[in-house]
Structure 1
């Protein structure tokens, strides 16, 4: 059932493929190791994970810049369309005998005003700044772990796709050999039929078997095309290239390597590193909410030049411009925020407890995953041994049936049935072989030793 599902999934990639296009494609050859290295550099997910580490590095610079002097310049120009009026008492030295009112309206201002201001502000103490700087560095570490996790996923996908190409290629060679065997049997049976030593039904049976093999041959060729396209997608290789895999299945199934893999304890998984780093970020957020209770101290300096004039031209005369400057400190002391920070601290502590629970669950799941992966690999290897033995037995049965038929002591039906059993045994063998290779990759991933 599993092999049928895999074939169905691969079949979805067949649309748009044309064998004739391969003649215009540039041929590139890759080993499994070269395929993985190429994918780590060109796969879209791997590239985005690398870019995320660059963004995290830039965030450190952004946070650092907040502690450096902040310098700003400002220029303003104003045309007073209607100069504001202020009122003075119409008495004493300001008294105007010609004005019957008890107040005097006075305009304070000129038609044009302009100014240039330079401000410098330097943070002297802000607890959140130092916590935020540490958080930015921790986020960079998290982005590195995220990148490693993405690389692991890419390696798994490339390996499985590469194995699919190898298995399909091996199947193709065997089916082509089966076709040659059936073609030979068909020619011999036709010759016997013409001589009167075989019946028409004998020829028809073999012809049906030949047609079945031709159909299977087309299906495997299509599967090879699809598996190659899938591998190119996982590698990030442009579709315009014709991919050729250069490794063989024997190199992938070394018994000593598999036994050593099953007995390995493994190393710490990157998922654990990700979770621990997330916990560090929450702790820093908790610390940040605590330090927000502390005052903030800033120093500032302002230098300005202001000018004015009754006409636009006199506004820019040097004698109408004057300098002003001042330096100061500003201290901000939090007094009461409606318990906002207190509630945030409670949320941080709850989040830490949740992450701690997730860590325990993750460690248990990893232990279970390793146990299952080891068990699956052992079972897959046993199934592979059984299917390999079945294939050899089916081949012996076919050879005996063929000899008996040639000697005239066996029937044509026996040969056809033996050939069908051999084909089924070979199909089961390659299905078991692919399952074993996939189980090996899954164990490598569970142990945290993908490479």
Structure 2
């Protein structure tokens, strides 16, 4: 009597149900991959940029660059404000006054009228002639502000170019990692098909089929994570470019390894070109001028003043009108202001010394950044060289392992090891190339020449 739990092939009902479920699961990864690739192709229909195009967009739309431009406008306004102290000031005033004063009855037995009406208009002039150097120092400080604004703009532009370049290379790396994960999944699916074919031919066991199915399922998370990394990297680039909607890039991580400057040469260039160093030098010059401005507050000052206008006066029954004018020199000399000026000078000098300390600290920081950047370029270059031939060798090793498995002279573990080695080799090479490109960009940034010339 035949046990009804088994069919004609000897398979149990439980095993057949498990096999059907695994076949359904084996189709799901392919559907997911198709959906992910479709999402990537849809994104490709949006704006696609090369690195040069992305940098051009950043120059026009990056928020930090736009803010630096506005700072330049603020400095221009400050210069106009300080320069106004050296130019003549003209003021037009008008008056219409009625005055009633009964105390005037005490004069000459009430002869003086108690009411007076005054109408008039005047043009006033004020011109600083001598301010003990205060006006000149303020104007020179404002002029130095233009140079400071220029260096801040250079720094903002170089920072934006570095961030955009890194985001661009991150997208290429994420796309490469997604391709590697997809290829790995496709490889697992081929192994699954092969295992099922071998099982149908009677040369494979249930374990081989189940192991292939599990391998397919385990490969799916890497594909999903890699696809999400691509989207995150694109969003980062879109943020830096201040663009609405999705953006994509076109390019490759492959690059030619070129020579790079030594530490001493890079440091010399940075001391001459780095925007932060040039900016703090301009700020030190401004601080020196501000000391002069503060020191002039208790010094003599000479101004030219004058007025010209017309006035009409009514006193009692009499009235008169005509031109009026005054002109003169006004000398002011604050003999003692409660040591206020001395306190302002002490503050200005302390601020200048603090800037000198900041300059020394910045020089040390730049030297450290240069050393780290040069070392990063050297390290990434050596890694790229070391991994250049590894991928080809890993591909050949996998082909040999798969062929040997088909012929029965290799086991599944050897094939899995070969696949893992190939995946790691491809991923490591892609990341090494990305790290090399980023290191070169960062080296140009810490030298202060990014976007302004080649190394």
Superposition TM-score tier, normalisation by shorter sequence: 0.7 to 0.9
Q: Secondary structure at the residue paired with 1:197?
A: coil
Distance 1:142 1:217 in 2: 49
Find the counterpart in structure 1 of residue 7 from structure 2. none
Find the counterpart in structure 1 of residue 106 from structure 2. 88
Contact in 2 for aligned 1:148/1:270 (Cα 8 Å): yes
Once the 2 structures are TM-superposed, how far is the Cα of residue 369 of structure 1 from its aligned partner? Answer: 1.6
Find the counterpart in structure 2 of residue 6 from structure 1. none
Once the 2 structures are TM-superposed, how far is the Cα of residue 417 of structure 1 from its aligned partner? Answer: 3.7
Contact in 2 for aligned 1:202/1:413 (Cα 8 Å): no
**Unpaired segments ≥5 residues, structure 1:** 1-18, 96-103
Is the aligned partner of 1:232 residue 2:238? yes
Once the 2 structures are TM-superposed, how far is the Cα of residue 23 of structure 1 from its aligned partner? Answer: 5.2
Find the counterpart in structure 2 of residue 260 from structure 1. 260
Contact in 2 for aligned 1:289/1:345 (Cα 8 Å): yes
Q: 2:85 aligns with which of 66, 71, 74?
A: 66
Contact in 2 for aligned 1:209/1:416 (Cα 8 Å): no
Q: 1:291 aligns with which of 285, 290, 296?
A: 296
Find the counterpart in structure 2 of residue 300 from structure 1. 305
**Unpaired segments ≥5 residues, structure 2:** 1-37
**1:325/1:71 CA distance change after superposition, 3 Å:** same
Distance 2:347 2:93 in 1: 42
Find the counterpart in structure 1 of residue 285 from structure 2. 280
Find the counterpart in structure 2 of residue 11 from structure 1. none
**1:309/1:289 CA distance change after superposition, 3 Å:** closer
Find the counterpart in structure 2 of residue 164 from structure 1. 170
**1:124/1:58 CA distance change after superposition, 3 Å:** same
Once the 2 structures are TM-superposed, how far is the Cα of residue 413 of structure 1 from its aligned partner? Answer: 3.4
Distance 2:139 2:215 in 1: 73
Distance 1:38 1:164 in 2: 18
Distance 2:120 2:166 in 1: 70
**1:21/1:31 CA distance change after superposition, 3 Å:** closer
Once the 2 structures are TM-superposed, how far is the Cα of residue 125 of structure 1 from its aligned partner? Answer: 1.9
Is the aligned partner of 1:147 residue 2:153? yes
**1:205/1:418 CA distance change after superposition, 3 Å:** farther
Aligned length: 408
- 1:314-350 CA distance string (max 9 Å, x none): 99xxx75443221121111231222332333333333
Find the counterpart in structure 2 of residue 123 from structure 1. 128
TM-score normalised per structure 2: 0.81
Once the 2 structures are TM-superposed, how far is the Cα of residue 134 of structure 1 from its aligned partner? Answer: 0.5
CA RMSD between the two structures: 2.9
Once the 2 structures are TM-superposed, how far is the Cα of residue 184 of structure 1 from its aligned partner? Answer: 2.3
Q: Secondary structure at the residue paired with 1:249?
A: coil
TM-score normalised per structure 1: 0.81
Q: Secondary structure at the residue paired with 1:134?
A: helix
**1:324/1:210 CA distance change after superposition, 3 Å:** same
Distance 2:315 2:365 in 1: 81
**1:23/1:309 CA distance change after superposition, 3 Å:** farther
> After the TM superposition, which residues 300-449 of structure 1 pair with which residues of structure 2 at under 5 Å, given as runs?
300-307=305-312, 321-388=321-388, 390-449=390-449
Find the counterpart in structure 2 of residue 39 from structure 1. 58
